[in-house]
Every structure is written in structure tokens, then in C-alpha cells.
Amino acid sequence: MKNICFLVVLFLFTQCDFSTRIDTAAAVKEMKARQVKRVLPQDIVNQVDEWGQQMQQNLQDTALRTKYAVRYIQGNAQSLRGQVKDAKIQQVLDALAYSQSLNQEVPPSIQKNVAGDSLFYIYPTNENQIIIIGFSKVQVIQKMDRKLIK
């Protein structure tokens, strides 16, 4: 019986390969990199606001538009109303047209479409034009800075 126990223990030790050790620091780092992250709606809105402000400052920079995969349209409220099919955005355009007719200063705003899958950074220019920059939520999440994601 002692011999059998000895042989079993000897067999188990020979099967264990102690030469390949796992670097625990690297394993922890890899697990954190693969960890599922949570993106809050406010994080998406903040990112759209940041990118929209960048594009507003650099109107002619088409590299930013392609980098963030946005839809960019410009015109007066009536022409944009024909180009935009979303009912909520059309209401926003009506409100902007009314504000412009009263010569009110209108700050940039971020609006969701009815479906909720896109965000629009909307702002008027000095020439009574309105610029709409459309962001897909999926694209925003994919292109967000990973440090900002919790």
C-alpha cells in the first residue's frame, strides 16, 4: 500500500510542470484590458459635446468629420427641414428658425433623435445658417477614449 501511495505521489509530481510559471502582473493587466466596461448615457453626451465643440472651432477640418464618422449638414432651417426626416430634430429646427427671426442668441445644443440611436450637435452660425453634426451612439462608444469609460 505504501508503495502504491508513493508511486501515485511520484506520478503526480512528475506530471506537474513547474518550469512554465504565469506572470501574475501580466495576467491581471490582460484581465483588466478585457474587462467589460460600462458607458453611461452622460458619458456619451459629454463626448459628443467635446467633439462637437472641436468641429465648431475647426469648421473646415474634414479630417475630424471622417475620424468620428459624422453626418454634417449646413443650411437655413427650411432647407435643413427637408433634409432631416426625424420629427424631433424638425421641431428643434422650427424653434431655431423662430429664435433667429427674433435675433436671439442661441447656444449650441445636443439633441437625440426619436429612435435614440443618434445624437445631433446643433448650432447656428453668424450668417443665420444652422449646422447639424450627427453622431451615431455606436460610433461614439467605439471611438471614445478608453480612459473615460468606467
Q: Which three cell numbers stand for residue 9?
A: 505521489
11, amino acid identity: F
Distance in angstroms (rounded) separating the CA atoms of residues 49 and 70: 13
Q: Residues 72, 137: one domain?
A: yes
Is the pLDDT higher at 145 or at 40? 40
Q: Residues 28, 60: one domain?
A: no
Q: Residues 26, 48: one domain?
A: no
Least confident of 17-21, 36-40, 66-70: 17-21
Is the pLDDT higher at 150 or at 19? 19
Domain range for 56: 41-148
Least confident of 30-44, 85-99, 115-129: 30-44
Q: Residues 59, 11: one domain?
A: no
What's the confidence (pLDDT) of residue 61? 73
| pLDDT tens digit sequence for 41-55 | 999 999 999 999 999
What's the confidence (pLDDT) of residue 44? 92
Q: What percent of the chain has pLDDT over 90?
A: 38
- Give the chain's domain count: 2
Q: Residues 76, 13: one domain?
A: no
CA distances 21 to 15, 25, 48, 84, 142, Å, are 15, 12, 45, 60, 35
Is the pLDDT higher at 131 or at 62? 131
112-118 contacts: CB < 8 A, separation 24 or more? Answer: 112/88, 113/86, 113/88, 113/89, 114/86, 114/87, 114/88, 115/86
Q: Residues 78, 120: one domain?
A: yes
Structure pTM?
0.72
